[in-house]
Amino acid sequence: MSNRSSLNLTSREIEASFKEGVYAEKFPPILTIAQAAELLQIPVGTLRDWRSHGLLDDCCTKTGKHIRFHRDRFMKLIFNDGLRAD
């Protein structure tokens, strides 16, 4: 499963998107699964499905019952690397 994006964001562009303002407050560096879903405007279930297929291994971790996403890695994966099973 490969969904490569033609939009490639630099680290600087990703950081600038969340540096200040409403996005900085709404989407902190470490996201809950609900925040990550809201950021992409997709259902939480979609993220759970992608995670269960190993597509988000580089940007999320499970701590106890909670899944957390590293926002900048998540954005890089979605917009630069694309979703793919390794």
pTM above 0.75, yes or no: yes
Q: Which CATH code, of 1.10.20, 1.10.1740, 1.10.357, 1.10.1660, is assigned to 11-81? A: 1.10.1660
Per-residue pLDDT of the chain (86 residues; tens, 9 = 90+): 455 556 788 899 999 989 988 899 999 999 999 999 999 999 999 999 999 999 999 899 999 999 999 999 999 999 888 887 66
In the chain, the DSSP E strands lie at 30-32, 60-63, 66-70
Q: How far is CA 83 from CA 19, 26, 65, in A?
A: 25, 24, 24
